[in-house]
Amino acid sequence: MFAGGVAAGLLAGTVTCTAAQGGLLMGLADRCHGRDPALVGWFLAGRLASYTLAGALLGLLGSAVSPPPAARAALLVAAGVTVIVFAVRIMRRGRCATPPEGEVSRCKAPLLGAATILVPCGATLGVEMIAVSSGSPLSGAAAMAGFVIGTAPAFALLGYVLRRVSRTRLARVAGLAAIAAGLWTVGAGLNLGGWLPGFTPSAPSSSTPASPTVTVWATRDGYRPAVASAPAGVPVEIVFRLAGPGCTGTVAIGGRDVALPATVRLPPQPPGRLRYACGMGMYTGFVEFS
């Protein structure tokens, strides 16, 4: 389990997790506190502790301790706002912190690292599912700890780059990039929670009666078809098939997370559209009942 977690971190989590969670490192990259290289180490230590504990709880209690999609969506919005605040701070120019404030920063570093568990990336969700299915707190903790260790080099490199940039005029460019990342995280949270109004594609017209069994392919670029048709008023099965790795491998539907491939059985639905999203809120799909 530990080796599998390390492999998942190195192969799948390096890019996705640093993109989704790296914004929290902005909290350590201001012009003053960013000079201390030990802060990144404390950040990684906090991340390791929170993931190991979460893995043990998932292995012990199963999916009951995993936050539902709505709660995770709210956490994504809060994390995005936090990243934006940190980005504004890194763009400001002012005097450096006094020693007591530096001590506060060293206490903040592990807390920010621990908070990355609340901003899941696609690979994180996959390892969490492994921890749940293990049924063992030791196995769950090993899988999650291995995942953190696998992603540690990428986070350490990102922390080094941010520390270097925070001392130059490029800090403003980095701050603008972080603001964009924060807005993206907020948007993903709003989409995951179903709170973001957006364009809903039209279902293709067909003379064939809708089938009570719907097949949806989860690809790296979204769900196909984007809008599936099903009859209203009868039980329906949605067969989710996995076409490739990515955040679409976990779908939030009906207020719960489902690891794919899987078959979701729905009770009779009224006419209308059922919306679902990937576990990170990046991609959305619909089932039109008529």
Predicted pLDDT at 275: 92
Q: Among 32-46, 152-166, 232-246, 273-287, which is the least confidently predicted range?
A: 32-46
Predicted pLDDT at 166: 66
Predicted pLDDT at 241: 95
Predicted pLDDT at 99: 46
Whether residue 236 is predicted with pLDDT greater than 90 in this model: the reply is: yes
194: helix, strand or coil:
coil
Instruction: Give dist(CA 51, CA 59) in Å, integer.
Output: 12
Residue 245, preceding peptide bond in cis (omega within 30° of 0):
no
Residue found under tokens 């990046």: 282
- Residue 9 pLDDT class (50, 70, 90 cuts): confident
**pLDDT tens, position by position, 131-190:** 888 888 999 999 999 999 999 998 888 887 877 776 666 777 777 877 888 888 888 889
Q: CA torsion sign, 284 to 117 to 70 to 259? A: positive
**What's the predicted TM-score (pTM) here?**
0.76
Predicted pLDDT at 104: 45
Mean pLDDT, the chain, as a whole number?
Answer: 81
Delimit the CATH 2.60.40.420 region(s) of the chain: 213-289
Q: What percentage of residues in the chain have a pLDDT greater than 90?
A: 29
> How many helices (DSSP H) and strands (DSSP E) are in the chain?
8, 9
**pLDDT tens, position by position, 70-128:** 888 888 888 888 888 877 876 765 445 444 444 446 677 888 888 888 777 777 877 88
Contact 127, 6 (CB under 8 A): no
Residue spans of alpha helices (H) in the chain? 2-8, 14-21, 38-61, 69-91, 99-115, 122-134, 137-165, 171-192
Residues in the chain: 290
For the domain made up of 213-289, the CATH class stated in words is mainly beta
| Tokens encoding 65 | 């301790």
Instruction: Give dist(CA 155, CA 90) in Å, integer.
Output: 18
Side-by-side strand order, sheet with 250-253: 227-230, 284-289, 272-278, 250-253, 256-259
Q: What is the mean pLDDT of residues 25-42?
A: 68
Q: Which residue has the higher pLDDT, 206 or 261?
A: 261
Q: What is the mean pLDDT of residues 223-243?
A: 93
Instruction: Give dist(CA 259, CA 33) in Å, integer.
Output: 40
Contact 224, 232 (CB under 8 A): no
Instruction: Give dist(CA 266, CA 24) in Å, integer.
Output: 38
| Tokens encoding 253 | 């539907």
